[in-house]
């Protein structure tokens, strides 16, 4: 199975693990040793203000969402729009950085969109591949539109996208208009 970095994992409707039921995960890193991902559609266990008070001086900026990136504890992680000093580009218009200093710098630069993650999802070598073979996840391409979408509707939106893509492929439809009901 090829590297899944820059892909989205979409939880199967049958996945009942409370950590991952109806989640969409951005795969940040995937290789022989395992994978690291961030749950894009779960509110964080702490408010951003609490994180901000521990990491920066001054008032916490409004409009930045703190998310529960997964059940594993780890450093503060940030997914953001393009920035000159991003630590890593994941896909077009989606970058990844780690640590409170990066969060403060990105906010100071006015970088938007920005999502802050407390925790992450991790898999050991071949564990994710086993879960994929078992049907726990569907894989689709990550886009900035999905990564920064409304978390409350993201799972339904991406699930619909996957279903529409599969249907178009099965029917050998070459072009599906953005708004087919207008035809």
Mean pLDDT throughout 36-42? 97
- pLDDT of amino acid 84: 76
Mean pLDDT throughout 49-57? 76
- pLDDT of amino acid 162: 85
pLDDT in tens, 69-102: 999 998 889 999 988 778 899 999 999 999 888 8
**Segments making up each domain of the chain, as ranges:** 7-173
pLDDT grade, residue 144 (50/70/90)? very high
Long-range Cβ contacts of 93-97 (<8 Å, 24+ apart): 93/144, 94/26, 94/142, 94/143, 94/144, 94/147, 94/148, 96/28
- pLDDT of amino acid 2: 53
Give the HSE-up count for residue 16: Cα atoms under 13 Å, Cβ half-sphere. Answer: 1
Mean pLDDT throughout 1-15? 88
pLDDT in tens, 96-143: 999 888 888 887 788 889 899 999 999 998 999 999 999 999 999 999
pLDDT grade, residue 181 (50/70/90)? low
- pLDDT of amino acid 56: 74
- pLDDT of amino acid 68: 94
Contact (Cβ atoms closer than 8 angstroms) between residue 136 and residue 11: yes
Cβ within 8 Å of residue 24, ≥6 positions away:
8, 9, 10, 11, 39, 40, 41, 146, 154, 155, 158
- pLDDT of amino acid 148: 95
Q: Does domain 7-173 have CATH number 3.40.1440.60?
A: no
């Amino acid at each position: 199975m090829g590297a899944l970095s820059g892909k989205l994992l979409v939880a199967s409707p049958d996945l009942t693990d409370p950590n991952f039921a109806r989640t969409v995960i951005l795969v940040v890193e995937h290789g022989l040793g395992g994978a690291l991902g961030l749950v894009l559609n779960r509110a964080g266990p702490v408010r951003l203000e609490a994180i901000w008070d521990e990491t920066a001086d001054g008032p916490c900026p409004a409009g930045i969402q703190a998310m529960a990136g997964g059940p594993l504890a780890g450093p503060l992680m940030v997914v953001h729009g393009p920035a000159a000093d991003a630590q890593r580009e994941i896909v077009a218009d989606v970058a990844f950085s780690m640590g409170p200093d990066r969060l403060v710098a990105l906010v100071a630069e006015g970088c938007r969109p920005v999502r802050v993650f407390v925790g992450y999802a991790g898999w050991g070598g071949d564990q994710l591949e086993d879960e994929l073979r078992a049907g726990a996840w569907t894989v689709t391409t990550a886009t900035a539109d999905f990564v920064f979408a409304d978390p409350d509707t993201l799972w339904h939106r991406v699930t619909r996208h996957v279903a529409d893509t599969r249907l178009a492929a099965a029917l050998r439809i070459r072009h599906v208009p953005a708004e087919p009901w207008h035809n």
